[in-house]
Chain A
Amino acid sequence: MMIDFFFKLRQAGIPVSLTEFLTLLEALNQRVSAHGVEEFYYLARAALVKDERHYDRFDQVFASHFKGLETLFDEMIGATVPLEWLHKLAELTLSEEDKQLIESLGGWKKLMETLAQRLAEQEGRHQGGNKWIGTAGTSPFGAYGYNPEGIRIGQEDSRHRRAVKVWDRREFRNLDDTVELGTRNIKVALRRLRRFAREGATQELDLEGTIRSTARNAGYLDLKMVPERHNAVKVLLFLDVGGSMDDHVRVCEELFSAARGEFKHLEYFYFHNMIYEGVWKDNRRRYTEKTETATVLRTFGPDYKLILVGDATMSPYEVTYPGGSVEHFNPEAGDVWMQRLLTAWPHAIWLNPQNQNRWSYIPSIQMVRELMGNRMYPLTLEGLEQGIRALQRSQPPASRPEQ
């Protein structure tokens, strides 16, 4: 049973190693957990999962693997089975009428009120039926029944027994790196890009090093110098705004605020759908205060890393034809400008908040992706990490000639 569990975890993409598995067995052997499946779950999680991003996946594997085995497991461990109020007896398949009936019960608020009422009325344990709180019924309260607005609930006594198993609650869903982005997550991902480097001429006296080498040198002064440390990464961020990007505004804002905090040299510009001859810095004054893209191209050196954020969802004409822009007449096509950008800043990625599954159905995404030389990544934590790795991987550009 345990070995199966181990392999299932690996299949789910959690990097569990043999060492960790043996640690878990050792802990079980020493009876670290002795009181049932919940403790076992905590122990297994502490021993096997080393990253909160994998908590959710672990929860899912745990739930599927130990479903139904819970009672067996408790006996095996030798603890008394805690009174399970809501046993899973049957999963009901209800007819359409029933479903409608349930929906007619009213909204969420109504449901909560009724719940409080019924809890007060009810005393004993209950199964089936359609009013009382219990299992496998059509009442909106209780587990494993069908009700679209149902509330899972356990024995509501002073000890706060939980209706839902800890791992069934999947509280760590938002830490999974393939799902959602939070500012904190983005910051962690962006930190990868933050590279402290010592570059340039030697500038500082390395006092520590000097003392150490002088002492080792039996007292003859041996001066050591080190270059100054500074954040070497410079980022140029282009954000698509408006139109189809409206759905993704929140994610982009988080990315932006995280990026602002992480980099010393961050320049940002907005564009719409595709980059043409003008970009702007303030979205409210976008028509009056435009910056010429050519100026931007001239201003920032090739050591800047270029990050474009946009859903690349538009008409193909906007990419390939002069005058294709939806907003103005552009004398030169979008792909011409893209080429210029990529020549100026060879370290470039495109982050796309659009769901990756849909990419292949949208021609313009394909076109932009080709333009980028496949360096388009989804705006998820995983995608961001891949993208940032790609930014770091590409050869650093030849340093600019001394001016």
Chain B
Amino acid sequence: MSESRFRGTDRYVVTDDLMMAVNATVTLGRPLLVKGEPGTGKTQLAEEVARSLDRPFIQWHIKSTTKAQQGLYEYDAVSRLRDSQLGDARVQDIGNYIVQGKLWEAFTADTQPVLLIDEIDKADIEFPNDLLLELDRMEFYVYETRQVVKARHRPIIIITSNNEKELPDAFLRRCFFHYIRFPDKETMERIVHVHYPDLKKRLLSEALEAFFEIRDVPGLKKRPSTSELLDWIKLLVAEDIPPEALRGDQRKLIPPLYGALLKNEQDVHLFERLLFMSRRKKD
């Protein structure tokens, strides 16, 4: 298995600890649970793992109404009823009305796929518990057709969580866990560079400076995250803002195009007030 090591891609920067966690997951075939602030690239991780290892990528987005059973299979009773009224011959075989779910798809894939179970904490509290056996043994039983679906290759499963609910212990015990920390300045530079390789050095460093300054403002309701920084830089480049406009000492107002960073009216007010106060102090 050592040939399939994940080292990040040209579009995605991984830290050492995350790389380790992913490789452990790939080698041992156990799920990896990824937590972290919103906008730190949790979902993208799975995509990039699939890309760099050249595996098929299967996504399963969880909503508050998603049931564990839907990931396995669903019995489409309505179609069967309709077909029976139309006298369709297919009605005899119940197997025609079993709709495969994402897990089934992952279990029967020809090559080992990467399965992303996105935002598992959105679902009902029992959801992870209902998947314990399936994720552990990588098999499940279809009652309607009395058939066991067994994984041909243990899929690489990456699960993300936004920490809205505590996950049950029994579930956690079966996973590797990684908490994506907010990147430091150095990592952030690498991340931005990966996305905008031609960015002028000065603009980048000014933008990062302004960004981390905003993040450090105490009492913000929603602190801007990596994805917001990337959006902002995209705007700066598109509008052709000169780096000087971002400079702290010359800055008269909040940074240009701040709408990409501050998403809350109260935060904007707070920031304006702080700037006003610091300006007064200088005068």
Contact = CB atoms under 8 A, between A and B. Distances in A.
Nearest to B181: A171
B77 A46 contact: no
Given A23-B30, A191-B165, A43 B80 contact: no
Interface string B5-46: 000000000001100110110011010110101000000000
B163 interface: yes
A385 B130 CA distance: 25
A214 B221 CA distance: 48
Contact of A43 (B2, B24, B35, B78): B24
B140 to A, nearest CB: 21
Contacts of B17: 42, 45-46, 166
B190 to A, nearest CB: 12
A212 interface: yes
Contacts of B78: 211-212, 215
Interface in A33-56: 33, 38-39, 42-43, 45-47, 49-52, 55
Nearest to A183: B221
A74 interface: no
Contact of B35 (A17, A26, A38, A52): A52
B165 A47 contact: no
Interface string A183-201: 1100010011000000000
B137 interface: no
Nearest to A218: B81
B28 A23 contact: yes
A160 interface: yes
Contacts, number: 88
Contact of A32 (B27, B163, B179): B27
A103 interface: no
B85 interface: yes
Given A19-B173, A32-B23, A215 B81 contact: yes
A253 interface: yes
Interface residues of A, number: 44
A242 interface: no
A188 B162 CA distance: 10
A260 to B, nearest CB: 9
B175 interface: yes
Given A43-B20, A191-B165, A211-B78, A32 B35 contact: no
A17 B17 CA distance: 22
A15 B23 contact: no
B81 A15 contact: no
A179 to B, nearest CB: 16
A211 B172 CA distance: 36
Interface in A4-47: 15, 17, 19-20, 23, 26-27, 30-33, 38-39, 42-43, 45-47
A33 B20 contact: yes
Contacts of A23: 28, 30, 176
B152 interface: no
B173 A17 contact: yes
A46 B169 contact: no
A257 interface: yes
A253 B173 contact: no
A172 B27 CA distance: 27
B177 interface: yes
A30 B37 contact: no
Interface string A209-237: 00110111011000000000000000000
A30 B27 contact: yes
B23 A212 contact: no
Contacts of B166: 192
Nearest to B36: A52
B77 A215 contact: yes
A31 B27 CA distance: 9
Best-surrounded residue of B2, B27, B166, B177 (most CB of chain A within 10 A): B177
Contacts of B30: 23
Best-surrounded residue of A160, A183, A191, A215 (most CB of chain B within 10 A): A215
Given A39-B20, A45-B17, A46-B21, A27 B173 contact: no
22 contacts: A19-B174, A26-B28, A27-B24, A30-B1, A32-B27, A32-B28, A33-B24, A38-B16, A43-B20, A43-B24, A45-B17, A47-B24, A51-B177, A55-B179, A172-B181, A183-B221, A188-B163, A211-B78, A215-B77, A215-B80, A218-B81, A253-B219
Interface of A: 15, 17, 19-20, 23, 26-27, 30-33, 38-39, 42-43, 45-47, 49-52, 55, 160, 166, 171-172, 175, 183-184, 188, 191-192, 211-212, 214-216, 218-219, 250, 253, 257, 261
